[in-house]
């Protein structure tokens, strides 16, 4: 049997830094974003806002860490597009 991947939880500081970065760059965000070949976000600003609220309220809960990981992917994609 394959070993299970460890659950990565994020600290409050990491989530705060992420959500602060996204909020600070809101005006630079495109209207939509192709996160990968299978995922397009039609309203990046709204998505980041709503998912940031969820992340701040649930960063310690392993079952709800998926949206935090998506926010980190959005941040990386935006940085790859030149938004610093």
- Quick count: other Cβ atoms within 10 Å of Cβ 27? 7
> Per-domain residue ranges for the chain?
12-80
The one-digit pLDDT tens for each residue of the chain (84 residues) are 667 666 668 889 999 999 999 999 999 999 999 999 999 999 999 999 999 999 998 888 888 888 899 999 999 999 999 998
Q: What is the dihedral of CA 13, 18, 24, 30, to 10 degrees?
A: -170
- Report pTM: 0.87
**What was the pLDDT predicted at 2?**
67
Q: Tokens representing 62? A: 């392993």
Q: Tokens representing 42? A: 């039609």
**What was the pLDDT predicted at 65?**
87
12 Cβ partners below 8 Å, 6+ apart?
A: 59
Q: Tokens representing 68? A: 């935090």
């Amino acid at each position: 049997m394959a070993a299970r991947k460890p659950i990565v939880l994020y600290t409050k500081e990491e989530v705060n830094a992420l959500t602060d970065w996204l909020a600070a760059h809101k005006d630079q965000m495109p209207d939509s974003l192709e996160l990968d070949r299978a995922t397009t976000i039609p309203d990046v600003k709204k998505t980041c806002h709503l998912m940031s609220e969820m992340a701040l309220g649930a960063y310690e809960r392993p079952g709800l860490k998926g949206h935090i990981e998506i926010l980190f992917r959005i941040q990386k994609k935006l940085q790859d597009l030149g938004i610093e």
